[in-house]
Structure 1
Amino acid sequence: MHDPRNPHKDAYTLILEAIDSHVYKPGDRLVESELAERFGVSRTPIREALQRLETQSLLTRDGRSLIVASLDHSQLSELYVVRGELEGLAARLAARHAAPEEVKVLRDMLEEDRALVGDPNALSRANRRFHKQIHLASHNRFLVQQLDLVHRSMALLATTSLAAEGRTEGTLEEHALIVEAIEAGDGDRADKALRDHISKAFVTRLKLDAQAVEAAE
C-alpha cells in the first residue's frame, strides 16, 4: 500500500521511521518489493536505502535476507554509556546557550506530555521530541549529529522503557528537573539530571530484557 503521509521524504527516511516506530522490529525481514509497494516508490531508491542502513549496522544479513538488527547486552551497555555522556553534554550546553524561547518550548512540552500518561507509545514519541529539543538548544551542530546517530541506534530496541510500570511518572519528573536546571543556567545540575535520567532508563531497560528472557524460557 502506498504511504501518502509525506511524499517529500526519501526512502531511507521512510524505512528508518518505520523501524523507529516499530512497524519493523528487530528480527523482521525487509523485502525490497514489499517496501517499494508500501511507500509508493521504485525499487532502486529502496535498494540504496537498504544498503545504507546495512552500512550503518541498522540492518544485518540472515542468509540472503536483510533483517532489522538487534542489540546484544554488550552493545546495549555501550550505547547507553555513549548516550549518557553526549546527552549530559547537550544539557550542560543548553543551560549555557538556550534562548528563553527554547526553554519555553521545553516547558510547554512538559505540560503537554502529562496528558499522555497511560499511552507509552505516544509518550515515547514525545520523549524523543523532548530530547531532540535539548540537543538543538545546545547550539552545537556536531554534538547534534552524533546524538542523531545514537538515537538512530535506539530504534533497534524492540520496546520502549516507558512501558514499564511506574516509569512514565518517573520520566516526567526527571524531565522537569532537567528543564529547571537548564532554565536556571546551571550546567552542572543539568548535566547530572540528564545523566541520572538516562541511567534510570537503562536500569529499566535491563529489567525489561531480563523479564523477556525469563518469559521465553
Structure 2
Amino acid sequence: MAPKLDLHPRSDGTSTTGSLQGQGAYARLLDEIRDGALTPGTRLTETEIASRLDISRTPVREAIRQLEADGLVEHRPRTGAVVRRLSYPEIMELYEMRVVLECTAARLAARSASDVEIAELDEINAEMAAATGNSAAAYEFNRQFHRALIDAARNRFLLKSVNAIHKTLLILGPSTLTEAARAEQAIAEHRAVVAALRDRDGPAAEQLMRTHMEHAQRTRLKLLRLRGDTPDDTREDVI
C-alpha cells in the first residue's frame, strides 16, 4: 500500500504536498537554467512561474530559495530574484576545480572500480555514441558517464564536491555537446579513459581526464563568446 501524504502544515507553514511541489518546481527551474531558457540576469517572478507551472506561489518561493542556497540565484535591490551571472574569473575557477576533482576521480576509479563498473562505463559511452545528433540524449549519457565514474572512485566527499560544481555550471547554459564535433571528441576521450581504467593505470586515467576537461573548458568559452555572453565585468584582475 502506498504511504499516505502528510497534509498537515509543517513548522515553516508548508505541507508535505507543498514541499513536493516545491521540489518539482525546483527541478523544472534547474532544467530551464541548464537549457538556456532562463539566462543569467533573468528575473524570477513568483506569480509568472506559478502561473506557468500551474501551482501556487508557495512552492515556487521554496524552489527559488533552494536555488539561492545553491548559488544559482541572487537577490538584487529593487529587482528581486535573478539568475546569477558568473564572472570570467568564476568560470575559470569552476573549471579549475572541476579538473582537480574529476581527474582525482579517474585516478581513484582506476584503483577501485570493479570490472562490472568499467563495463558499464563502456556501455554508457557506446549509447552516447549511438545518440549522436541528439544533443539532449548525448547530454544525459554524458551526465551518466561522469556520475558512474565518480561513483566508482568510492569517495563520498569527492562526490558531494563534484555535484556542487556541476550544479553551478548549469548557469552557463546548454551543454558543450550541442556542438557535434565536440560530442564526437568527448566520446573518443571517454573511450580512452575507460581503456586506462581497464588497464588499472591511474596516472594515465588522470591525464586523459585532464585533457577531456580542458577541451570541454575551451569549447565552453567558445560557445559563450559566440553567444555574446562572455562575462567581462570583472576581468580587470585577469591578465
TM tier relative to shorter chain: 0.7 to 0.9
Q: What is aligned with 1:164?
A: 179
Number of matched pairs: 210
- Aligned-partner SS, 2:40: coil
Structure 1 counterpart of 2:61, one-letter code: R
Q: What is aligned with 1:83?
A: 98
2:212 to 183, 191, 197: 197
| 1:51 lines up with 2:97 in the alignment | no
Q: For the structure 1 residues 209 and 22, does the alpha-carbon distance in structure 2 shift closer, same or farther, using more than 3 Å as the test?
A: closer
Distance across 1 between alignment mates of 2:102 and 2:181: 23
2:128 to 107, 113, 132: 113
- Aligned-partner SS, 1:30: coil
8 Å CA contact 1:88, 1:194 repeated in 2: yes
Distance across 2 between alignment mates of 1:9 and 1:67: 19
- Aligned-partner SS, 2:174: coil
Q: What is aligned with 1:3?
A: none
Structure 1 portions without partners, runs of 5+: 1-5
Structure 1 counterpart of 2:31, one-letter code: E
Structure 2 counterpart of 1:27, one-letter code: G
Cα-Cα RMSD:
2.4
Structure 2 counterpart of 1:24, one-letter code: L
CA deviation vs aligned residue, 1:149-178 (integer Å, no higher than 9, x gap)? 000011011232223352121111001011
| 1:60 lines up with 2:42 in the alignment | no
Structure 1 counterpart of 2:81, one-letter code: L
Give the TM-score, by structure 1 length: 0.86
Distance across 2 between alignment mates of 1:210 and 1:18: 21
Shift of residue 32, structure 1, vs aligned partner? 1.6
- Aligned-partner SS, 1:118: coil
| Structure of larger gyration radius | 2
Distance across 2 between alignment mates of 1:196 and 1:128: 18
Worse-matched range after superposition: 171-180 or 125-134: 125-134
Q: Determine what percentage of the aligned residue pairs are the same residue.
A: 35
| 1:24 lines up with 2:32 in the alignment | no
Q: What is aligned with 2:169?
A: 154
Give the TM-score, by structure 2 length: 0.78
Q: For the structure 1 residues 207 and 172, does the alpha-carbon distance in structure 2 shift closer, same or farther, using more than 3 Å as the test?
A: same
Q: What is aligned with 1:140?
A: 155
Structure 1 counterpart of 2:105, one-letter code: A
Shift of residue 36, structure 1, vs aligned partner? 3.2
Structure 2 portions without partners, runs of 5+: 1-19, 230-239
- Aligned-partner SS, 2:81: strand
- Aligned-partner SS, 1:156: helix
- Aligned-partner SS, 1:29: coil
Structure 1 counterpart of 2:33, one-letter code: I
| 1:15 lines up with 2:29 in the alignment | yes
Shift of residue 75, structure 1, vs aligned partner? 1.0
Shift of residue 194, structure 1, vs aligned partner? 0.8
